[in-house]
Amino acid sequence: MKKFILFTLILSGVFLNGYSKTDNLRAYLSYSTFYSPNHGPYLETYLSVFGKSVVYIKKENGKYQASVLVTMLFKQKDSIRDFRKYELFSPEIDDTTSINFSFLDQQRIPISQGTYNFELLVSDKNRDKAPFKIEEQLDINYPAGKINISGIELVESFKKVEAETELSKSGYEFIPFMDNFYPGSINKLVYYSEIYNTITALPQEEKFAVSISIQSYETGKLISNYLKIKRESPKQVIVAFGEFDIQNLPSGNYNLVVSVRDKENKELATNMLFFQRSNPEAHFDLQSLSNIDVRNSFVSSIQSLDTLREYIRSLYPISSSEEKLFIRSQIKLANLETLQQFFLSFWVSRNNADPSKAWEEYYVQVQAVDKEFHTVNKRGYETDRGRVYLQYGPPNARSQSYDEPRAYPYEIWQYYKLGIQSNRKFVFFARDYASGEFELLHSDAQGEINNPRWEIALHSRDTDRYNSPQQIDRMSEDGYFGKHSDDFYNLPR
């Protein structure tokens, strides 16, 4: 069934970081869009600044305070359609030697429907440094007469309010969870979203279902025990607000999905938000494999334990988080029968009609990847290029540069479409000449390593001190980066 993505959260948990280790402005930005039936669409932004990362100035009252300058621009082509420029102040403090807080700014910005280039500039007013700048495409799309779903907001805490305020929603004030990464110390995921136009898009008395689920980012499959369904009647605004206990959710990449379905289970609207989980304490449920019968299947002919282990290891690039947990924890411990059951279950879930064919087609890719990307001590699927190739398929463009002055050998891959993402890039570089392996240095794809300073690292072959501001300035002036690598990144070929 085709999915209609009415809104995708463009940016969540973006880490703003300068160049210097000691002189960094550090902050998190997240934002979501919502729709007011009375006033139209609006953007909510949340900016959290690490208190230790800014400069404090002593005031006349003897206390210390920091100040951050924030500019938000909303552009269409070459025109600025809207902007916000303001100064964000820290709390006043008595002592700057024991700062252990962050300070939060929340903005609610009315904005017309359309596609914008959203530009954010953030700088420390008390430090003579250029602003940190990010740009993202922002889509505001709430068609009249169709069911729409707002952005999905992750929540750190909330409280009920007696009267609505400028920044409250549905009778609550929310403190957003500023990251999309949940460490093992956090076992609760709280979410908030809104659904619009059911009262105009559906018959007045027709019941429908609102489901909230956690799905595997790699496979799109529902994670067991992470589904909530509520029957609803058409209303002007329907609130999806709740929580999941993620104590037993394995480490991995996931999507939080809000979906609306009619009485015949037809999907009417959906929206999703990517998040990551780290949970070293999670365990794979071996009981889930106990009823799988491998007799008379293609797996029954694989009787070599070493061969089967190697086959299963090669599945890692395309495995879900639960499947990766099995591979990590059981590949050396499980007996032949358990490994056969897992292997069969894996391919039945991909192609129930012909799991053997699905495996054979994948194994052809594994062999091709091994031939092109293997190193002296790694098989092809274990390398970063091999993993990306198997997980996402061949890139649409692959730029290669192996002898650029002052740069490590590198490749830049571009994918025109990556699931619901568009124009995603991967930068690999060969830092270790002896092994010949190309490591993943940076990508703008969800769930991948994101390194805003990738060009500096790429062109640091002559020095291991590229983190100092002086070194960066010299590299920029001398043309260490911003030439071929910048061209390849912006216009891969």
Question: Please, which residues have CB within 8 angstroms of residue 124's CB and are 6 or more apart in sequence?
Answer: 25, 54, 55, 66, 67, 68, 69
pTM of the model: 0.79
Q: Which two tokens stand for residue 245?
A: 């206990």
Interhelix angle 355-373/384-392, rounded to 10 degrees, is 150
Q: How far apart are the first and last CA of the chain?
A: 34
* pLDDT tens track, the chain, 493 positions: 222 222 222 333 444 433 323 357 888 888 999 999 888 999 999 999 999 999 999 999 999 999 999 999 999 988 999 999 999 999 999 999 889 999 999 999 999 999 999 999 999 999 988 888 888 889 999 998 899 999 999 999 999 988 887 778 888 999 899 888 999 999 999 999 999 999 999 988 889 999 999 999 888 889 988 999 999 999 999 999 999 999 999 999 999 999 999 988 899 999 999 999 999 888 888 888 989 999 999 999 999 999 999 999 999 999 988 899 999 999 999 999 999 999 999 999 999 999 999 999 999 999 999 999 999 889 999 999 999 999 999 999 999 988 888 889 999 999 999 888 889 999 999 988 777 899 999 999 988 988 878 888 888 876 654 444 445 445 544 555 445 666 666 666 6
* CA distance linking residue 16 with residue 2, whole number of Å: 36
Domains of the chain: 1-142 (2.60.40), 146-281 (2.60.40.3880), 286-384 (no CATH), 395-490 (no CATH)
Q: What is the DSSP string of 407-470?
A: S--EEEEEEEEETTEEEEEEEEEEEETTTTEEEEEEE-STTS---TTHHHHHT-TT-S-TTSHH
